[in-house]
Amino acid sequence: MSEPGILATQQNDASFEDVWEELNWRGLVHVSTDQAALKELLAGEPITYYCGFDPTAPSLHLGNLVQLLTMRRLQLAGHHPLGLVGGSTGLIGDPRPTAERTLNTKETVSEWVGRLQAQVSRFLSAEGGNPVRLVNNLDWTAGLSAIDFLRDVGKHYRVGTMLKKDAVASRLNSDAGISYTEFSYQILQGFDYLELFRQYGCVLQTGGSDQWGNLTSGTDLIHRVEGRHAHAIGTPLITNSDGTKFGKSEGNAVWLDAEMCSPYRFYQFWLNTDDADVVERLKVFTFLSRAEVDALAELVETEPFRRAAQRRLAVEVTTLVHGSDATAAVVAASEALFGKGDLASLDAATLRTALEELPNTTLAKGSSVVDALVATGLVSSLGEARRAIAQGGVTVDGVKVEADSATIEGVLPGGAAVLRRGKKTLAGVFTS
């Protein structure tokens, strides 16, 4: 997890005129309310701003990290953050593009509220003159009757306008349609902004650009009810250069919780960033200065084979999310697996999570290397395994296997073994 010391080292880049200029350079402003007014607002006296996170899962993911780091940059500029975890909106969930969400129980949502609040608090400082304040929209909606909600809030919304929102329109045109439950989500989010405006003087909301309809629901409501102007910033949806959705692999999000996505897998995700994407990732997900990013960008052009930018990105973001100790452990594991470190010096937990990302199997201690090669899928048959050994192309724990009678003893921490065929094809064996 993030460490207090890491927050203390973070700073905005002084080479920019103001935080608005830096947000734009980092590519974090895809859409917004009046840009000139926002620039003036953020360069002036400290304001209060918020971003909301719904507990529709037990952990935040990389898309949420974009918001958390945007909030942190605004906090470093002196502004006052509110981290909203939606105890009420989490019971509904914002409309997905294709189908209704599965509604979770109140007990589950309550548990996830606590988990997400703990995650949000790791990325925003609770110290100094503008500490983060965590809020829960269940506090102002739980006691609100349906009649009061319709009279006091619903009357300010026009159905025609609501139907034009992208999230709603796409669902109306789908086979699934949309229920009134999800249709009403934009009203609830607009009500959140109104309440935070009233309670804290909050005048800026940030969120993903796919939430723009919900963001402007709040600015419009504040204008109608209070006669005041409020602002919104929609960050871009991060995609890879080939157009694929960022942070998704075979349908699995990259979670910030170490139990749902190990630090090793998290580190490898960033290490495998494409050259075409790495500079933009450095801008969005790290606090490296413009000069540092430009220097790494030059290395991508002149020495791409060194992958210096990817290694720096992986270290920076893994440290940010999981801490320096976990990062050191996974870097050591990554290097040791590829022959640049001592496998025996790794801690058992890190080694296990690293090997679980590879083809792996569990065998009885003393099983043959031939059987292990087949069981892990490094070869397709016993005959192929024997030929690979005879050709000198197989190692166990970095030591060449000389005979097909060799066995797996699991001498590494946790009873593991690292099996290699050729230079780069690895597998893990866990002994029982």
Task: Give pLDDT, residue 252.
Answer: 66
Domain 4-237 has CATH 3.30.70.1070: no
One-letter amino acid at 57 equals A
Q: Name the segment(s) of the chain with CATH classification 3.10.290.10.
A: 358-432
Per-residue confidence band for 65, with pLDDT thresholds at 50, 70 and 90? very high
- CA 155 – CA 220 distance, rounded (Å): 13
What percentage of the chain has pLDDT greater than the value 90?
73
Q: Where, residue-wise, is CATH 3.40.50.620 in the chain?
A: 4-237
CATH architecture of 358-432: Roll (3.10)
The answer, yes or no, to whether residue 2 has pLDDT greater than 60, is no
Average pLDDT of the residues in 201-225: 94
CB 308 within 8 A of CB 316: no
The residues that bridge with 395 in the sheet, in sequence order, are 400, 420
pLDDT in tens, 221-251: 999 999 999 999 999 988 887 777 777 654 5
d(CA 407, CA 240): 43
Look at strands 48-53 and 202-208 and give their pairing.
Answer: parallel
pLDDT, tens digit, 9 for 90 and up, residues 295-316: 999 999 999 999 999 999 999 9
Q: What is the three-class DSSP state of 29?
A: coil
Q: Please list the helix, strand and coil fractions of the chain in percent, rounded to the nearest 5, in that order.
A: 50, 15, 35
Task: Give span(s): CATH 1.10.240.10, the chain.
Answer: 241-346
CATH 1.10.240.10 fits 241-346, yes or no: yes
